[in-house]
Amino acid sequence: MTRSPLETTPISDIVRRDFRAGAIMDRYHLDYCCGGALTLAEGCRHRGIDVHRVIADLEALNPPRHESPCEDPVSLIAHIVSRHHAYVRESMPQIQHHLTKVVAAHGSRHAELALIESEFTKIANELQQHLLKEERVLFPYIASLVDAVNHEGPHPPDMFGTIQNPIRMMEIEHQEATDRMAVIRQLSHNYDAPADGCHTYRLVLGELQAFDEDLRVHVDLENNTLFPKAVELEEKAEMMARGLKSDQWERQASDR
């Protein structure tokens, strides 16, 4: 078997090059902070771990994926849930765990860390409920509008008065989350670790920056692509329920 250069690379260097490697090291209980000077092979040997398993997981890390918004609202919802909602749920506990460690180790010298931890805890608590509201209520309703329009079937039961009501609520919650991330960005000096920051300190700032970037893409997809489509679908479904055929609605909409 060809020897991978990762075997002789210090664990801390692997994590420093790609913060996502930190989650893999945590999974195998490999220390990239105080014991980070050990090479990957040495760390695995001390832990009794097959180094090739760890390397396989590291090599499986995909490069960041670019967004390719779907035209179909149902496909777009599937993309948002599988890509962004899944990422939020997977990353939040990891970030919170690392923040707790960093606050304990560096909080006395860097008071901003406790504030960052507090803001992120609020984000995590709020987003957990936010995702459920979208997945269990709003997104299924949008899917039912798609079905009604595509098959010229009955308008789904009126749950909100207008779909713009829950959309406004989701947009408010999006703004609250992005505002809190802006506070974290400011407190962390744009995710720049101080000179005395350990590997975990640098790691969690990288995780927070990635979370921030993903959240902005996530919010943009919903606010500026999915939600306008949903409003249009509702209007179309209502017109069709009053007897206007799909092609007639299209012509009327294009004349506006």
**pLDDT tens digits, 6-59:** 999 988 888 877 777 888 888 898 887 765 578 999 999 999 999 999 999 998
Cα separation values, 180 from 137, 144, 215, Å = 25, 33, 11
Place of tokens 């962004």: 84
- With the CA atoms of 98, 81, 187 and 193 taken in that order, what torsion angle do they form, in degrees rounded to the nearest 10? 50
Residue 229, pLDDT above cutoff 70: yes
**Cα separation, 214 vs 64, whole angstroms:** 10
How high is the pLDDT of residue 107? 95
> Counting runs of H as helices and runs of E as strands, what totals does the chain give?
12, 0
Prediction pTM value = 0.79
Place of tokens 């090739």: 52
Q: Show the tokens assigned to 33.
A: 């902070």
More confident residue, 246 or 25: 25
Percent of the chain with pLDDT over 90: 63
**228: confidence class by pLDDT, cuts 50, 70, 90:** very high
Q: For 155-167, what is the mean pLDDT?
A: 88
> What's the DSSP call for residue 10?
B
With CA atoms as reference, report the closest residue to 203 among 59, 32, 57. Answer: 32
Vertex 126, ends 65 and 107: CA angle to 5°?
Answer: 85
* Sign of the alpha-carbon torsion through 153, 159, 165, 171: negative
